[in-house]
Amino acid sequence: TTTTTGRTGRWALRGAGWRRRRVLPSRAPVGTRALRFDEYVQGLQSDMIEECEGADGSGRRFRVDAWERERGEGFGRTCVLEDGSLFEKAAINVSVIRDVLTEERARAMSERGRASIESAGGQAYEAEALSLVFHPRSPLVPTLRADVRRFKVGG
């Protein structure tokens, strides 16, 4: 079981899905550990899944594929709803990666003006993302694509 604490609660990875348990009030007391971005996007994902399933009204549920990278370098959750009343297909995905920059990637970033990146590579990085794709059933409603990402190199 993998557990992470988020903005309004706790999510435990069990089997294919996340279960939320509230452990902190929304106005946490001063001195409470600051919210991390990966916890924030996991909370958003859970909230969005719940809202989309309710809005769809078909009773269909998001299919969940929880995954982990080798050596503990990252994890994520791919969630897809298909053949709903409102959504022909909807995806709400989270990826969290912790790794080391390869020389090739570090050189490319350095050449694009990222002065703090050592072109030899070897620096630790963190990357998190929440991505959304909603294909409504109605041809009169446009597809929505959105994402929010964070990429940090070094400590």
pLDDT tens digits, 112-147: 887 778 888 888 899 999 999 999 999 999 999 999
Secondary element (H or E) of residue 124: strand 124-136
CATH label, 37-153, candidates 3.40.630.30, 3.40.50.970, 3.40.50.1970, 3.40.1500.10? 3.40.1500.10
Q: Please give the pLDDT value at position 26.
A: 41
Bridge partners (DSSP) of residue 125 are 99, 153
Q: What's the mean per-residue pLDDT of the chain?
A: 81
pTM of this structure: 0.73
Q: What is the mean pLDDT of residues 8-13?
A: 42
The ranges assigned to domains in the chain are 37-153
CA dist 146 and 153 (Å) reads 23
Report the residue count for the chain.
155
